[in-house]
Amino acid sequence: MTFVSQVYGWLLLSSVGLFWLFPARSSRLWVLLGASLLFYGLRQPFYVPLLLTGVFLNYGLGLLLRSEGRLIRRYVGGPDPQYRQRHRKRLLGLGIGLNLLLLFGFKYVPFVLNSLGWALQQPGLLDAASWVDQIAVPLGISFFCFECIAYLVDVYRGAPPALDWLSFCTYKLFFPKLISGPITRYHVLVGQLDRLDRPRWPLPDRVVEGCWWIACGAVKKGLIADSLGIWVQTVFGPGTLERAGSGDLWLAIGAYGFQLYLDFSGYVDMARGSALLFGIQLPANFDFPYFSTSIADFWRRWHITLGDWLRNYLYIPLGGSRQGLIRTCINLIVVMVLGGLWHGDNWGYVLWGAAHGVALAVHRLVDAASRRFATLEALWSHPAGIALAWILTQGMVFISWVWIRLPDWGQSSLVFQRLWGRPTDVYFLEKVYDEALGLDPWRLGTILVLLALTMGLAWVLQCGLRLQLVRSVKIALVPLCLYLVWVLGPEGVPFIYFDF
């Protein structure tokens, strides 16, 4: 089941109706939990017990991590603070280890076996990797484990643990965010879960806003991103990639950059809109990232909740920027390599993360040099310097998307080799542009320019002028947007981040 489907629509409508029918907080939590289990069970019913087991384990570890209270004193066997602190560290290590073991066991075993088999020239390891790779990976396992680790670390640092199992289980399995986020900390959401019995009836403004976000997300994903995906798949698909010219590859890279952003931000819009129908606000995950003028600013705007997780639970524990410039650059590279590996079990993802880590390190070095040299600082504050910074940032971002779209080293290296001076094959022109797409390269390029201009207009209206559509206009546009997606959108295209 995906968000852009009639089944999800019926599930959402029925669960929203039941939610507001029962006024008690506990009843509403049970409605959300039941809807979440049904949502996941319709896709992968055999992994529902695994998720529930993971919830129970992390809930129990959170209770044991309390530095004070009867349970921890009884378990430790004494009131000695130093002994309890050492024990809490062991418990935290156990919790992090179990979550990483769950993530590694399902997601990275084939990658490790393949890498070892290739390095050691052992066919048995390669055969084992092929066999293990046939096991389906639980949907949302990366987001699930990252949220659990964040919860345990927060409790270890002094945040109160969850005392109500139903509230914690509902938080962990809340279906709008379960598969692809946004990554939401328990202590950010728990206050809203504690107030689920208020208000008694849904607020009209929130209902309209929730439906509007769902409609906008559906248009982004089902109408624009999926249509761009057909184009991208045609160019990067087997049999056509080898015949594509440099101009074709640049167009496809640009199209994939827009597809990835619209696909994922469309998912987040629909997730936030769905949650808002229950009176719950999920955190924002995007803030016009393609208008960033530095790679650091890009990561403050792209996948905001993942960037926040990497910063708080990897970068800062590694030392952050407190141990000198060189150590800061090393920390940035290490964190981004791990962030790339989180996206997938392939060396292409590692290279993507390493590229962003190096870019962040270079930005930190340039920033340090700018503080020492007034001329360099004046350059980056000048309009020409700002434009140059934007071109360099977005050029790096879009080119690095090649490793995400084509994580296989042979395919991605072929793209990089042919970005300059490669003419388009006649077969490619006929089969791709004429027969498959029905558009010439100039029209496709115009479509990308129009998309960029539309994003620019949206940025000016929302961030510059602070303008919003009135409620009546949103009410009128919601059914129109959903109808257009239903009639014109390609069917059965999964969300890209379901694979991550």
Instruction: Encode pLDDT of 437-450 as tens digits.
Output: 777 788 888 889 99
30 and 161 both lie in a single domain: yes
Compute CA distances 192 → 71, 162, 213, whole Å. 27, 14, 20
**What is the residue range of 494's domain?**
205-286+418-499
pLDDT for 388 equals 94
Task: Identify the three-state secondary structure at position 123.
Answer: helix
215 and 268 both lie in a single domain: yes
148 and 168 both lie in a single domain: yes
Residue 317 lies in a domain: yes
Q: What global pTM score does this model have?
A: 0.92
Tell me, yes or no, if 187 is annotated catalytic: no
358 and 399 both lie in a single domain: yes
pLDDT for 67 equals 59
* DSSP label of 422: -
Residue 237 lies in a domain: yes
C-alpha span between 249 and 461 (Å, rounded): 32
Predicted confidence (pLDDT) at residue 83 exceeds the cutoff of 80: no
17 and 63 both lie in a single domain: yes
pLDDT for 69 equals 45
Predicted confidence (pLDDT) at residue 230 exceeds the cutoff of 70: yes
- Are 36 and 170 a contacting pair, CB within 8 Å? yes
> How many CA atoms lie within 13 Å of 432's alpha carbon, on the beta-carbon side?
29
pLDDT for 32 equals 96
- Span 266-293, mean pLDDT? 94
What pLDDT digit, counting tens, does each position of 149-161 carry? 999 999 999 899 9
- Span 68-91, mean pLDDT? 64
> What mean pLDDT value characterizes the chain?
88
What pLDDT digit, counting tens, does each position of 185-221 carry? 998 899 899 888 888 888 899 999 999 999 999 999 9
296 and 246 both lie in a single domain: no
Give the pLDDT band (50/70/90) at residue 73: low
Residue 114 lies in a domain: no
384 and 441 both lie in a single domain: no
193 and 210 both lie in a single domain: no
Backbone conformation region of residue 294, classed left if phi is above 0, alpha if psi is from -120 to 50, else beta: beta
269 and 149 both lie in a single domain: no
What pLDDT digit, counting tens, does each position of 16-30 carry? 999 999 989 999 999
- Span 58-67, mean pLDDT? 87
Query: What letters, b where the CB count within 10 A reaches 16 and e where it falls short, cover 306-331?
Result: bbbbbebbbbeeeebeeeeeeebbbb
Question: Which of 383, 405, 427 lies at the terminal end of a domain, its last residue?
Answer: 405
Residue 132 lies in a domain: no
Q: Please tell me the total count of domains within the chain.
A: 3
Residue from 87, 303, 343, 363 carrying the catalytic annotation: 343
Question: Which of 376, 405, 434 lies at the terminal end of a domain, its last residue?
Answer: 405
Residue 125 lies in a domain: no
Give the pLDDT band (50/70/90) at residue 167: very high
Could you give the dihedral angle defined by the CA atoms of residues 438, 441, 446 and 449, in that order, rounded to the nearest 10 degrees? 120
Residue 37 lies in a domain: yes
The least confident of 161-170, 177-186, 194-203, 302-311 is 194-203
16 and 165 both lie in a single domain: yes
Question: Which of 356, 381, 405 lies at the terminal end of a domain, its last residue?
Answer: 405
Residue 319 lies in a domain: yes
Compute CA distances 163 → 58, 59, 352, whole Å. 12, 8, 40
389 and 440 both lie in a single domain: no
Residue 370 lies in a domain: yes
How many DSSP H helices and E strands does the chain contain? 24, 0
352 and 259 both lie in a single domain: no
